Amino acid sequence: MMILNDGNQIPSLGFGTYLSKDEEVKQAVLAALKAGYRHIDTAMIYENEAGVGEAIKESGVPREELFITTKLWNEDIRKENAEEALKLSLKKLQLDYIDLYLIHWPAKGYVKAWNQLIELQKSGLIKSIGVSNFNPHHLKDLEESGVVPAINQVEIHPKLQQADLIAYCKERGIQVQAWGPLMQAALFQDETLKAIGEKYNKSTAQVMLRWHLQRGVNALPKSVTPSRIEANYQIFDFELSKEDMNQIAEMNEGKRVGPDPETFDF
26 binds ligand NDP (CB under 6 A): no
Catalytic status, residue 46? yes
Determine the distance from the C-alpha atom of residue 66 to the mean position of all C-alpha atoms in its chain, rounded to a whole number.
Answer: 14
Measured in degrees and rounded to the nearest 5, phi and psi for residue 25 equal -70, -35
Helix (H, G, I), strand (E, B) or coil at 254: coil
CB of 147 to ligand NDP, least distance (A): 20
Using CB under 6 A, pick the residue from 44, 220, 235, 248 that binds ligand NDP. Answer: 220
Q: Enumerate residues 6+ apart whose C-beta is below 8 A from 223.
A: 16, 28, 229, 232
Nearer to ligand NDP, 94 or 225 (CB): 225
* Alpha-carbon separation of residue 36 from 50, 54, 129, 134 (angstroms): 21, 18, 24, 30
What's the rounded Cα separation, in Å, for the pair 116 and 77?
Answer: 10
Pairing of strands 9-10, 2-3: antiparallel
CB of 182 to ligand NDP, least distance (A): 3
184 touching ligand NDP, by CB under 6 A: yes
Select 109 or 221, whichever has its Cβ closest to ligand NDP: 221
225 scored as a contact of ligand NDP (CB under 6 A):
yes
**Binding flag, residue 190, ligand NDP (CB under 6 A):** no
For residues 152-171, which are near ligand NDP according to CB under 6 A?
A: 153
Is residue 118 within 8 A of residue 82, CB to CB? The reply is: no
CA pair distance 166, 216, nearest whole angstrom: 9
Give the per-residue contact string, 115-134, with ligand NDP (x = CB under 6 A; - = no): -----------------xx-
Question: Which member of 73, 114, 179, 211 binds ligand NDP (CB under 6 A)?
Answer: 179
By the rule CB under 6 A, 205 interacts with ligand NDP: yes
- Least separation in angstroms between residue 180's CB and ligand NDP is 4
Point out the catalytic residue in the list 18, 37, 46, 233.
46
Asked if 48 contacts 20 with a C-beta cutoff of 8 angstroms, the reply is yes
> Which C-beta is closer to ligand NDP: that of 47 or that of 144?
47
Complex with ligand NDP: residue 123 or 186, whichever CB lies closer: 186
Burial 224-260 (b: 16+ CB within 10 A, else e): beeebbbbbbbbeeeebeeebeebbeebeeeeeeeee
- Pick the stretch among 13-21, 111-119, 136-144, 168-176 that binds ligand NDP (CB under 6 A): 13-21
By Cβ distance, which residue is nearest to ligand NDP?
Answer: 16
Measured distance CA(259)–CA(133) in Å, rounded: 9
For residue 18, state whether it binds ligand NDP (rule: CB under 6 A). Answer: yes
Task: Give the angle subtended at the CA of 215 by the CAs of 134 and 71, to the nearest 5°.
Answer: 35
Site residues (CB under 6 A) for ligand NDP?
16-18, 41, 104, 132-133, 153, 179-185, 188, 203, 205, 220-225, 228, 231-232, 258
Catalytic annotation, residues: 46
